[in-house]
Structure 1
Amino acid sequence: MALNQDKSKLSEVEHIKEKSKYLEGTIQDSLKDEVTGNLYAQDQQLIKFHGSYVQSDRELDKERKAQKLEPLYSFMIRVRVPGGVATPEQWLVIDELATKYGMPTLKLTTRQAFELHNIYKHDLKQTIKEINASALDSIAACGDVNRNVMNSVNPYTSAIHEDVQQVALRVSEHLTPRTTAYYKIWVNEEQVVGPEEEAPIDEPIYGKTYLPRKFKITFAIPPYNDTDVFAHDIGLIAIEENEKLIGFNIVIGGGMGMTFGDDSTYPRIGNVIGFAPSENIPDICEKIVTVQRDYGNRENRKNSRFKYTIDRLGLDFIRKEINDRLGYELAPARPFEFTTNGDSYGWIKGRNGKWFNTLYIEGGRVKDTDLFQLRKGLRAIAQILEGGDFRLTGNQNVVIGNVSEALKPEVDKLLVQYGIVAHQEVSSLHKHSIACVALNLCPLANSEAERYLPSLINRIHGLLEKNSIGEEPITIRMTGCPNGCGRPYLGEIGFVGRAPGKYNLYLGASFNGDRLNVLYKEALDEAEILQTLDPLIASFAKEKHADEHFGDYVVRKQIVQHIN
């Protein structure tokens, strides 16, 4: 039943991968071409596997075109942080690289990675080389492979967090591509991290053409679904008994992306298919990946994610195929409960006796402003954080983690000194929000997200205050296009950019991330958004049940028809 026996029907990207010599392509020649700031067309696809995308400053495109210049091309580099935990030394390296080579800010992504923006072609190799010297890397941060493996970093869960983290790291290592092209191009074959085999080698899991499309894996530790475990190709839900990790429930087939006007594309919540002990998880993930490798659609990339493979062939077929490849059946899923997909802010003492401080980072953008110096402050903390760590959350925030009792007052002093504490006093709406980069850097964006959402939330917060529910927690997600990088379809209120200043409005996701929202109205400007939300918030304030969340309310009142 595998697809794509007729090579003439394969997408162009499939041909590029097949001819690429395991992702090497002609990237090195592209980098040497001084005529353009871009890469050759085929290498623009291949460099994604190396963790980078071509971008341009879209706000300068018209001016440069009038001057008969090509767009001001630059590159985004995405740095993998498996499980979301980075050392203070690694934080300092990424911070320094942003100043040396790119936009002087750090972007914390919704999948626990760092992003560096505005890296020009002549600095690309050196930047990636220095990333690798820190024992981080960018291989497989993008492209048709398994990407950065996520894990809950919520400090409440530290009793089993380290055990779950170790499984996440094993999965990450097991599914990292074995190609040596990455090290040959970027690190001059000095393998600081990565496979020890010498080139040429094949890809024992992925094969010559890798996967049909990107693949994402996340771990979550109940009751916190801070990684949105149902939104990924594979989700692993930790099952704990007597404060011991006994294994994981396995979720498959989640995915957020869609295309406007194409009903064959849609967001999807994953299905729980069973339970397995911890030691089996890397092999189970491999077998699921190979099912997608063999049965995924390689003809139409819009329908190539694992969610579409499952819906095309049927969940029963996919489950049987997984069991057959494993040689045994997965055990029945164990009970679990999620209460939220948000973060817990402020200082919390973990069960290991260390302290953890979750900071709200607006839009995941670590930068200094006239009001406060977030970037300088975190840099100063990293310089004294002996034995501690930085934990990137799935909500674009950061946890200053594993702080000793003796060091905590020093961290507090720096948080005050750089104005960071004062700017943690934002509304609950802000603290439950996510926005993608969107304009001006993302070539796919139809409208603003990161730069606009905070001001829109201020106005929505005004509606809540008017109804005396100003600190009601409501998850709000905004993206500049329908591809779903900010997981907008899991927002109790979701905004998806349709055109400049226009957004589709989605309502009705659950507060804990296990139910999608539903399209409510299309192409609204700000005034129309507020006019639409005003009466809904007013009725919610008057009619909500005790402890009822906004998403549950709009479903109960049939304001939207839940279709999950």
Structure 2
Amino acid sequence: MTNNLLNPVKISKVEVLKQKSNFLRGPINTELKDNNPFFSQDGIQILKFHGSYQQKDRDFDKAKEKGEDAQYSMMLRTRSPGGLIPWQLYLALDKLCDKYGNHTLRTTTRQGFQIHGILKQNLKTVIADITRNMGSTVGACGDINRNVMAPAVPFKDKPEYNYAREYAIKIADLLAPQAGAYYDIWLDGEVAVTATEAPEVTEARNRQGDGTAKTNINSIEPIYGTQYLPRKFKIAIAVPGDNSVDLYTNDLALVVITNANHELEGFNVYVGGGLGRAHHNDATIVRLAESIGFVPVAKIYDVIKAIVAVQRDYGDRHNRRHSRFKYILEEWGVEKFKEVLLEYFPTKLAAPRELPPFKYQDYLGWHEQGDGKYFVGIAIENGRVSDREGLQLKTALREICETFHHDFVLTPNHNLLVTEITADEKETIQAILDRCGVLAPDKIDTLVRYSMACPAFPTCGLAIAESERALPSVLARIRQLLVSLGLENETFVTRMTGCPNGCARPYMAELAFVGSAADEYQIWLGGNFDSTRLAKPYIQRLHINDLEKGLEPLFVYFRNQRLSGEGFGDFCDRKGIEDLTRYVENYVAGDHQNSEQDSGRKDIRHRVTLSKRSYDLLKNAVGQKGTSMKDIVEAALEQYLK
């Protein structure tokens, strides 16, 4: 762990850049005025704090062979606490993506929207328009607090949900950058007309004492200081029993606690979750957040400031792969973390309140809000809002927005809720959805319904394999395989990412594909449907062409050995990776027609004893090639005996 910033140590170039940026102004303020179609490497780093990433069209890389220049564009992401998208903002985004982007919107796994394909020369226009239409992009990226998540559902008769949304907004305001660079650069100093933050938030940010950042007294940035955080920081707020926000994957998670009269008492606090990692680097980890106690509502801002300050002062500012908050918890443990936290918040936290088990819900379809009105949850496959043959989703959402002026709420799983629908509007809205080909939830294949993919190619610079564009065909092949094995009614959570950074939260899935090379994926197994358990790595590389060959033995084993009512993820977790691997290594293709438990089986499996060295080499080859020992041995023998 890096030493406390109060004792200066070696820091990365990004840290030096942040410190010299004049609170996130330079060099963007000057590079916007040059004639280059791209930002410099320094500009790219600071641009993130304003909600944008510079990207290249990676499909266009082939053009390099013809001597053509790379095609640069910007991805822009909204900051939308709790996923709330006012109808005015949605219409603005819809028009902006057509005029300046690639004609699509992309929902994120943190309840925001992304526009891809914006040219540098148009970036200021787009950001200004978003900001003047009740939106913002500041804090959607960068080494600061990201979008604060909360359950999307607008249950008016369940106060816990209202508290979650309320505090998502307040905490987002508390941790928003204060130096004014965003307005100086994108709106020429004009402060857009937006909702004023609650006075309690302003007072809490500026209050010295409990939770105060030790090095930042009287700073323009009283929480962050001149260098902001070592890396991004993610917060979610959950309601007891509702894990629609994937609370365990966040740096900081709060669970709303109310009394018998449904009055807010405070929050259970969890810390140290995070999923970003790197292949073949055991120093990078995936981790679930852990409980540290209960905090009364009057002290929640001070505790949040204190937790963020610990990450700011003790997070690794030299090695960015080691700089997320989760590494502090992993290396210190919860008890040491709580001891250090006392230096910032000098009151021991109370024991956490008892909670019911967390369950995942997607809230698709029609539901009552509890006040006589309705909301409808609309599935957005892989988060892509577009018009294509058979599905005019973009047209449907625009028409609903223009006709009824109802706000949208984005979910943490790529979907969208239309809220505040009156009884006499239901029929018309459903007719729009039907006409545009938007399926009701019971008409969606459950493999698709409970899946997610990151964008990957062609926009993401980190992608090493396809994801969004590959997952539909992968799911279709999996469904076909399940049908052939007599598992036609089976479903599980499937997620795919183009790299190991985990933007679609693959490490919580029952079955996950994590890009490891072109058309090859690391396979993770054993997460659960409710997103409360980490999956484990199973195969290092499975080529997409070998999908059925790689998955068939697992599904056969599951079919034959599952317990009553047991899901695929629970089965894989119960058996364990070693047991699954052993079964697959001995699996004979075509055995799926018979149950392993049938007494009449006649097949004979011949065995050969290997030396430990040969066995270790063979086992290593299995992990590298993503195939079975049997296949490797047979191929080698056939080649040798020729």
Q: Which letter does structure 1 place at the counterpart of 2:124?
A: K
Task: Tell me which of 341, 348, 354 is aligned to 1:322.
Answer: 341
* Counterpart code for 2:39: L
- Please state whether the residue corresponding to 1:118 is helix, strand or coil: strand
- Does residue 209 (structure 1) correspond to residue 227 (structure 2)? The answer is yes
2:472 is the alignment partner of 1:454: yes
Secondary structure (helix, strand or coil) at the match of 2:452 reads strand
Unaligned runs of 5+ in 2: 203-217, 581-642
**Structure 2 partner of 1:44:** 44
Measure, in 2, the Cα distance between the counterparts of 1:268 and 1:140: 23
Moved more, 136-145 or 471-480: 471-480
| CA shift in 2, pair 1:534/1:561, >3 Å | closer
How far 1:87 moved relative to its partner? 1.6
Deviates more, 1:271-280 or 1:142-151: 271-280
CA distance in 1, matches of 2:416, 2:196: 29
1:503–1:522 CA contact under 8 A, matched in 2? yes
Instruction: Please name the residue that 1:285 is paired with.
Output: 304
* Partner Cα distance (1:499, 1:275) in 2: 44
Structure 2 match to 1:514 = 532
The AA in structure 2 aligned to 1:129 is A
The aligned amino acid for 2:350 is A
| Residue in 1 that maps onto 2:396 | 377
Contact 1:145 1:213 in 2 (8 A): yes
| 1:105 equivalent in structure 2 | 104
Find the aligned partners of 2:151 and 2:324 in 1 and give their Cα distance.
24
Tell me how far 1:224 sits from its aligned partner. Answer: 2.1
Q: Distance in 2 between matches of 1:232 and 1:314?
A: 17
Q: Contact (CA 8 Å) 2:542, 2:550: kept in 1 or not?
A: no
Alignment correspondent of 2:583 = none
Q: How does 1:490-509 map to 2 (within 5 A)?
A: 490-509=508-527
Contact 1:18/1:209 (8 A) holds in 2: yes
Letter in 1 for 2:401: A
The Cα shift of 1:500 comes to: 1.1
Q: Secondary structure at the match of 2:75?
A: strand
Query: 1:108, 1:144 → 2: CA distance?
Result: 21
| Alpha-carbon distance in structure 2 between the residues aligned to 1:385 and 1:410 | 10
Summarize the alignment of residues 25-104 of structure 1 with structure 2, pairs less than 5 Å apart.
25-34=26-35, 36-63=36-63, 65-104=64-103
- Deviation, 1:455, is 1.0
Q: Give me the TM-score of the superposition, normalised by structure 2.
A: 0.83
Measured against aligned partners, the alpha-carbon deviations of 1:134-177 in whole angstroms (never above 9, x if no partner) come to 12101011000001000011456861211211111110100001
- Say which is worse superposed, 164-173 or 317-326, in terms of deviation: 317-326
- Residues 270, 322 of structure 1: CA spacing in aligned structure 2 closer, same or farther, 3 A cutoff? same
| Separation (CA, whole Å) in 1 of partners of 2:145 and 2:230 | 11
Residues 443-465 of structure 1, C-alpha deviations (whole Å, 9 max, x = no match) = 00000001111110111112333
1 CA distance for matches of 2:156 and 2:489?
A: 25
Residue correspondence of structure 1 range 126-137 to structure 2 within 5 A:
126-137=125-136
Distance 1:195 1:121, change over 3 A: farther
Amino acid at match of 1:84: G
2:559 pairs, out of 541, 545, 550, with 541
In structure 2, how many angstroms separate the alpha carbons of the residues matched to 1:272 and 1:539? 36
- 1:543, CA displacement in angstroms? 3.3
CA displacement 1:364-423 (0-9 Å, x = unmatched) = 00000011210011000111234x321101101111122121221221121112221379
Secondary structure at the aligned position of 1:248 is classed as strand
Q: Single out whichever of 286-295 and 463-472 deviates more from structure 2.
A: 463-472
1:334 aligns with 2:353: yes
Taking only the aligned residue pairs, the percentage that are identical comes to 38
How far is 1:556 from its partner?
Answer: 1.3
Alignment counterpart, residue 253 of structure 1, candidates 252, 260, 272: 272
Q: Secondary structure at the match of 1:21?
A: coil
Deviant stretches of 4+, over 6 Å: 194-197
Report the secondary structure of 1:14's partner residue: helix
Mark the CA change 1:405 to 1:280 in structure 2 (over 3 Å): closer, same or farther: farther
Q: Does 2:439 correspond to 1:421?
A: yes
Q: Cα offset for 1:499? A: 0.9
- How far off is 1:213 after superposition? 0.5
Aligned residue for 1:232?
Answer: 250
RMSD of aligned alpha carbons:
2.2
Question: Is 1:115 the counterpart of 2:114 in the alignment?
Answer: yes
TM-score after normalising by structure 1: 0.94
Asked if structure 2 preserves the Cα contact closer than 8 Å seen for 1:155 and 1:348, the reply is no
In the alignment, what sits opposite 2:324? 305
Q: Give the alignment partner of residue 352 of structure 1, picking from 350, 371, 377.
A: 371
Matched, 1:221 2:239: yes
- Give yes or no for contact 1:178–1:201 (8 Å, CA) kept in 2: no
Question: Cα offset for 1:561?
Answer: 8.1
Q: CA deviation at 1:7?
A: 5.6
Amino acid at match of 1:503: Y
Q: Deviations over 1:515-551 (max 9, x none)?
A: 1100001110124332222222233234333332211
Q: Determine if contact 1:151/1:220 at 8 Å carries over to the other structure.
A: yes
Q: What SS does the aligned partner of 1:125 have?
A: helix
Instruction: Quickly say closer, same or farther: Cα 1:107–1:542, change in 2 above 3 A.
Output: same
SS of structure 1 residue aligned to 2:362? coil
How big is the shift at 1:8? 6.7
Code of the residue aligned with 2:455 in structure 1: it is V
Cα distance in 2, alignment partners of residues 308 and 502 from structure 1? 29
How far, CA to CA, are the matches of 2:492 and 2:94 in structure 1? 32
* 2:484 matched residue in structure 1: 466
The corresponding residue for 2:143 is 144
Residue 314 of structure 2: aligned partner: 295
Q: Distance in 2 between matches of 1:102 and 1:57?
A: 13
Counterparts of 1:82 and 1:158 in 2: how far apart (Å)?
21
Task: Provide the C-alpha distance between the structure 1 equivalents of 2:156 and 2:494, rounded to a whole number of angstroms.
Answer: 24
- Quick one: distance in 1 between partners of 2:279 and 2:575? 27
Moved more, 522-531 or 206-215: 522-531
Note if contact 2:232-2:324 (Cα within 8 Å) is conserved in structure 1: yes
Structure 1 pair 322–203 and aligned structure 2 pair: CA distance change class (3 A): same
Shift of 1:554: 1.0
CA distance in 1, matches of 2:574, 2:10: 46
Aligned with 1:130: secondary structure?
helix
| Cα distance in structure 1, aligned partners of 2:533 and 2:420 | 33
Q: Indicate how the Cα distance of structure 1 residues 149 and 500 shifts in structure 2: closer, same or farther if over 3 A, else same.
A: same
- 1:424–1:180 Cα change, 3 Å: farther
Which 10-residue stretch deviates more, 182-191 or 3-12?
3-12
Tell me how far apart the structure 2 counterparts of residues 343 and 327 of structure 1 sit (CA, whole Å).
39
How many Å separate the matches in 2 of 1:471 and 1:266? 34
Greater C-alpha radius of gyration: 2
Q: Match for residue 397 of structure 1?
A: 415
On the 8 A contact 1:106/1:116 being kept in 2, the answer is yes
Distance 1:398 1:440 in 2: 24
Aligned mates of 1:408, 1:471 — CA distance in 2: 31
Alignment-mate amino acid for residue 249 of structure 1 = N
Cα separation, partners in 2 of 1:335 and 1:230, compared to 1, 3 Å: same
SS at match of 1:107: strand
Q: Note closer, same or farther for the CA distance 1:541–1:221 as it changes in structure 2 (3 Å cut).
A: farther
The residue aligned with 1:11 is: 12
Would you say the 8 A contact 2:156–2:162 is kept in 1? no
* Residue equivalent to 2:161: 161
Unpaired runs of 5+ in structure 1? none
Aligned to 2:381: 362
Partners of 1:50 and 1:142 within 8 A in 2: yes
Q: Distance in 2 between matches of 1:201 and 1:320?
A: 26
Q: What is the distance in 2 between the residues matched to 1:526 and 1:510?
A: 24
